[in-house]
């Protein structure tokens, strides 16, 4: 845990703030000679203060460089105790509001919000979208062998799911096709859970001349699909390319790690979920979150709400620890509020 900012002298606080701001701006270590131009102190005096800040775990010097950069603990202290966040500038507000237009589907607006954040922050924009049940349009079976068939489920949104199902003597391919014809004729337009319940009712009441074993197999499949969709995160990520900037060449391993981490949708969704109860923006710096311990990346996230005031999703930015927190935090907060207005 970083020490309270009140434990730093005014001189230590000033020098620490300059080091952090220089790092966030350029991503490079800064030395005492460079700081001397901004302060009425000698390089030797500044070096002494920087050494003390390093001993306190707030600064470090990478490799053999004489300059310092902040540690993750130092960045946390800066964000919590020194940083002054302001409202996003009018140009940024206009760009966010322009992309989150009201005359487009919600899914498109969420993708636009992610893209807008990515472009303005020069990092990856992420949105955890509200979960929606898949609406059934068509179900079909393609025989693969005497014991297996490929089930093809098509949703009204155009999404397609494929599953291998095992056949037995009681539920052959012909019987499955009869059940799928019934499903397509009578259950299209229902959610998977609704279709499963209706099909089981038909099995119990024997209203239709469908094979009970085959119908039970299909009903079980619909139930499994419905549960999978309920657990699956609806995650939108935009702006991977922004993470490969001019400084990336100096730290390719970190960039590769971050790009790999962004492929782990389930883990990112869990991380964003932890920001759902935050009153505003929540900031995770480097190894404060296990997922980004390798890449040393930061996450700034804020929840947005639905028409009843309930939290329906989370929007944020993922990037290197040298994100411009003072600029990006209000940007993410403004985007969350814009999405809340859109959902109202």
- pLDDT per residue over 189-232, tens digit each? 888 888 888 888 888 877 666 777 777 878 888 887 777 766 66
Nearest to 299 by CA among 326, 280, 275: 275
Nearest to 49 by CA among 27, 74, 32: 32
The DSSP code for 160 is E
Distance CA 3, CA 57 (A): 9
Distance CA 263, CA 150 (A): 27
- pLDDT per residue over 265-320, tens digit each? 677 888 888 898 888 899 999 888 777 766 678 899 999 998 888 888 999 998 88
- pLDDT per residue over 232-268, tens digit each? 657 888 887 766 654 555 566 666 776 776 666 677 8
Distance CA 153, CA 137 (A): 8
* CA 202-208-211 angle, 5° bins: 85
Distance CA 288, CA 222 (A): 39
H-helix segments, the chain: 10-26, 32-36, 43-55, 72-81, 90-99, 106-121, 173-186, 192-205, 212-231, 252-261, 265-273, 325-343
């Amino acid at each position: 845990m970083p020490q309270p900012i009140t434990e730093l002298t005014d001189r230590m606080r000033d020098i620490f703030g300059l080091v952090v701001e220089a790092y966030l701006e350029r991503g490079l270590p800064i030395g005492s000679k460079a700081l001397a131009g901004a302060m009425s102190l000698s390089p030797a005096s500044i070096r002494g203060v920087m050494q003390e800040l390093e001993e306190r775990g707030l600064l470090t010097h990478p490799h053999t460089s004489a300059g310092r950069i902040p540690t993750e603990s130092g960045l946390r202290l800066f964000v919590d105790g020194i940083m002054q966040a302001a409202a996003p500038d009018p140009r940024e507000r206009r760009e966010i509001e322009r992309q989150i237009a009201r005359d487009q589907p919600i899914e498109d607006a969420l993708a636009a919000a992610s893209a807008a954040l990515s472009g303005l922050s020069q990092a990856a924009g992420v949105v955890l979208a509200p979960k929606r049940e898949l609406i059934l349009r068509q179900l079909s079976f393609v025989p693969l062998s005497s014991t297996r068939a490929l089930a093809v489920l098509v949703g009204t949104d155009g999404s397609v799911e494929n599953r291998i199902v095992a056949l037995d003597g009681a539920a052959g391919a012909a019987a499955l096709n009869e059940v799928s014809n019934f499903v397509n004729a009578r259950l299209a337009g229902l959610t998977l859970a609704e279709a499963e319940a209706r099909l089981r009712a038909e099995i119990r009441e024997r209203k239709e001349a469908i094979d009970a074993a085959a119908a039970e197999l299909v009903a079980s499949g619909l139930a499994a699909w419905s549960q999978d969709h309920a657990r699956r995160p609806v995650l939108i990520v935009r702006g991977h390319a922004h993470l490969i900037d001019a400084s990336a060449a100096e730290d390719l391993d970190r960039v590769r790690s971050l790009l790999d981490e962004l492929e782990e949708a389930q883990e990112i969704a869990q991380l964003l979920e932890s920001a759902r109860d935050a009153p505003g923006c929540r900031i995770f710096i480097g190894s404060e979150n296990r997922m980004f311990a390798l890449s040393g990346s930061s996450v700034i996230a804020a929840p947005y709400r639905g028409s009843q005031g309930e939290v329906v999703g989370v929007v944020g930015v993922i990037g290197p620890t040298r994100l411009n927190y003072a600029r990006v935090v209000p940007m993410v907060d403004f985007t969350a509020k814009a999405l809340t207005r859109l959902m109202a």
